[in-house]
Amino acid sequence: MATLMATAMSVVLYSAYLNFPKEIRGLREWALALVLLVGGVVIFALHGKSDILLLFSNVVMTWGLGLMMIGTERFYEIKPSWKLFHLSWILIVVLLGYWLWITPDFLTRVAVSSVVVFILHTRAIVVILKNGDRHFSTLFFVTLMLIESIMVAVRGILAVTSDSDVNLLGTGTFASLYLATAHFMTLMMTVGFMTVCTRRLQVTLERRSTLDPLTEVLNRRGFADIYAKEHALMRREGTLMTMLNIDIDYFKNINDCHGHAVGDRVLIDVAQVITKTLRASDHLARFGGEEFVVLLPATGLDRALHITERIQAALREPRPGIPPYTVSFGVACQTSADESLDGILIRADKALYCAKERGRDRYEIAPEASLSRTGEPVRRPDQARA
């Protein structure tokens, strides 16, 4: 039953490999690992008195356990330990072959194979502990790996220190316990790996839903979430907040003259340059097309204008592979927590429109808002064009 379940789990893992985002790695290796473990068990069951098949079954199962280690490393984006992988199965061939044909010794073979398996599991455990996030899924996964490692270590120790029955074809208490635990834990480790993969899938999808795929800065949804948090802090602490509405000048001409691929590089360049210029507490979002928005929490107008000029200067610097371009800014300072996100966006957008009308490559400041009961700015006659 455990073998059949392992086969089914390999199908589940391979299906996940085909359908999960490519950022989630290691699924293919784990799926193949289960196939190899099942194959090794089948060869072991059919080996009869053939020592060659017995040795080959151990090699195949070592490949499977090694691929579990490789898959775990790939999942955590660690360079795969292929040298350890190949060294492990070569040791199995050489050492088990020696104590199988040259100096037959069953207990030594058990000890050797236990050491090799323990090393492979330990490597995976170290990778999880160093690179896993602090979440239940990671704790669950590493705990299962630890239990399996302990069982393997106990079998190896018993093989050289006592007369306990470590022959898995026997009927001893430890042999029965080990078989039950080993088969069960193989399935549970797979479940544990799928748990951390599902966790990574959730994080990836959440990240995709709040980030612009081209520039990798916040999108409208992500920006709205960030603004809500900063707005709540502003209301609680009584601070100011400033928003910059940024638009690339004559962006259509860049696409027409240089092509859309270059236009995409310009958008990425804008996002990267602005991000490097901003403070860690500031937030940048792309609102679509060539329009970007910057939120400056706990920042008054004077400080915001200094940041605006710094961004302007950085964007004017020539960069290899990027055609020269300029940007226009609309600057709106929020002094009242009663103003809504739409309200300050409207004011910043009007200021940007004014900067475009007055020659581009400049910034304009939006007048302070006069709020209605709904928190929207009231348009006065003197604000008609700013």
Taking every pair of C-alpha atoms in the chain, what is the biggest distance, in angstroms?
101
Q: What local confidence, expressed as pLDDT, does residue 44 receive?
A: 87
Phi and psi dihedrals of 94, rounded to 5? -70, -55
Phi and psi dihedrals of 307, rounded to 5? -65, -40
How far lies 50's CA from each of 54, 95, 101, 158, in Å? Answer: 6, 17, 12, 26
Nearest Cα to Cα of residue 241 among 332, 363, 156: 332
Per-residue pLDDT of the chain (386 residues; tens, 9 = 90+): 777 888 899 999 999 999 999 999 999 999 999 999 999 989 988 888 899 999 999 999 999 999 999 999 999 999 999 999 999 999 999 999 999 999 999 889 999 999 999 999 999 999 999 999 999 999 999 999 999 999 889 888 988 887 667 776 666 676 677 777 777 888 899 999 999 999 999 999 988 899 999 999 999 999 999 999 999 999 999 999 999 999 999 999 999 999 999 999 999 999 999 999 999 999 999 998 999 999 999 999 999 999 999 999 999 999 999 999 999 999 999 999 999 999 999 999 999 999 999 999 999 999 987 655 445 555 443 343 33
- Considering the entire predicted model, what is its pTM? 0.78
Q: What local confidence, expressed as pLDDT, does residue 27 receive?
A: 97
DSSP reduced 3-state for 242: strand
CA 197/CA 201 separation, integer angstroms: 6
Structural domains of the chain ordered from first start: 2-208 (no CATH), 220-383 (3.30.70.270)
DSSP reduced 3-state for 329: strand
Q: What local confidence, expressed as pLDDT, does residue 170 receive?
A: 63
Q: What local confidence, expressed as pLDDT, does residue 124 receive?
A: 97
Residue 243 and residue 291 in contact, taking contact as beta carbons nearer than 8 Å = no
Residue 300 and residue 242 in contact, taking contact as beta carbons nearer than 8 Å = yes
Q: What local confidence, expressed as pLDDT, does residue 162 receive?
A: 74
Query: 377 - beta bridge partners?
Result: 371
Helix runs in the chain, H state only = 2-19, 27-46, 51-75, 82-91, 97, 106-131, 136-161, 173-210, 220-237, 251-258, 260-277, 301-316, 341-357
Q: What local confidence, expressed as pLDDT, does residue 376 receive?
A: 52
Beta-carbon contacts of residue 60 (< 8 Å; ≥ 6 apart): 36, 39, 40, 43
Nearest Cα to Cα of residue 365 among 303, 314, 301: 301
What's the distance, CA 295 to chain centroid?
A: 26
Tally the C-alpha atoms within 13 A of residue 56's C-alpha that lie toward its C-beta: 12
Q: What local confidence, expressed as pLDDT, does residue 172 receive?
A: 67
